[in-house]
Structures are given as C-alpha cells and as structure tokens.
Amino acid sequence: MARSSIQTYIKDNTALYVFVGVLFVMGVIFGALMVNALSMEQQQDLSRFVGSFVSSIETGGDTQQRETFFQVFGMHMKWIMLIWLLGISVIGLPLILILDFLKGVMVGFTVGYLVGEMSWKGMLFALVSVAPQNLIIIPALMIASVSGIAFSMYMVRNRIMQKRGALAEPFMSYSALTLGISALLLGISLFEAYVSPVLMRWVTPMLG
C-alpha cells in the first residue's frame, strides 16, 4: 500500500519536480554568472571574508561548533518553515518558486566564486564545504517545495469545489512531511557544525 502511494505521489508530481529542478539549475547558473559582475572592491571584500572564514576554521573549538550548529539549524528551519507557511497560503505558490531559484543562486555564486578565485583549490574546498550537505539539503528543499506547491494547488481546487473538511488529511500529511524534513535538516546541521569543519581543516593547508 505504501509503495503504491509513493508511486502515485511521484507520478502525480513528476512535472512539478522537473519544473522546480530546472528553476534551481537556472538559479545556479545565474549565481555563477553573478561572480563575473562583481567589482574589484567587492572581490577584495569577499577575499578578506573567505580568508577570515578559513582562519576561524583553523582556530575553532567546541564553543564555536555549538554556535555554528544553532545558526545553521536556525537558518534551515526558517527556510523550511517559510516554505510550509507559503504552502498553506494560496498566494504563496509563486514565492516558493522564488525561494528555490534563490537557493540555486546562493549555491551557484558560492561555488562559482571559490572556483574563480582559487581555481582547482577552490573546487576542492567547495567539495568539502558546500557539496556534502547540499547533496541532502537541496533534494529535501525540493521535496518540501513540491509538497507545498501541490498542497497550495489542492487548496485552490478544494475551495472552488466548496468541500468542507476535505483539507484535514492532506494538511496532516503535508505537515508530517515537513516535520520529517526538519528532522533530516537537524542531522545535516550537526554534520555542518561538527564534521564539515574537520574536512575543511584538512583541506585548508592546500589552499596556500
């Protein structure tokens, strides 16, 4: 039964996943292109920021790791809760798509800048600092986004058909999925706070 429900869900939402995926990729491309539009002063400011960030990684301790965890988890929760809230509001559908595009821009800009600034060393740094957690975060946000869009569209159809009480079960399923993704992001936040710095400290001597 569960397998059948999953297959039905995927079949019904394939077009949405493709659309959200394409939108995210467009964001990544746009973010990477933004790097070339930076002025010399902006590039210098970013270089100083990256240098300061690398230095903080090398000297970071348990206190900094705890602070990083709360900051990262708080950021992920704000993002996922915003998607959830937009999903239960009919007018929030286009804003969910904008969030997906912006997430792509953030990833594309970060990787594009590191590679443009440090060449293969930047790619290596991106592989340990950006790629691992985003392999989980991006699919999780895409699932949350598609679920939010699907629920928002369902609400529109439900209101047009005037069916009272028909929203309860879809709403509970949507909220349960959001809670599950939140738990996943909790684990990812722990990885970002306690494992990623170790990987980055291993790589930073190679950055020269």
Contact status, residue 24 vs residue 142, Cβ threshold 8 Å: yes
> Within 10 Å of residue 168's Cβ, how many Cβ atoms?
9
According to the model, what pLDDT value does residue 21 have? 95
Q: Computed over its alpha carbons, how large is the radius of gyration of the chain? A: 20
According to the model, what pLDDT value does residue 133 have? 92
| Total number of residues shown for the chain | 208
- Cα–Cα distance, 162 to 109 (Å, whole number): 45
All residue ranges of the chain with pLDDT < 70 are 1-7, 57-63, 159-166, 207-208
pTM of the model: 0.86
Nearest C-alpha neighbor of 189 from the set 24, 56, 72: 72
Domain span at 77: 2-206
- Quote the tokens at residue 155: 């609400």
According to the model, what pLDDT value does residue 161 have? 61
Q: What is the DSSP letter of 35?
A: G
Could you read off the pLDDT of 47-93 as tens digits, one per residue?
Answer: 777 777 777 766 666 567 888 899 999 999 999 999 999 999 878 88
According to the model, what pLDDT value does residue 170 have? 86
Number of domains in the chain: 1
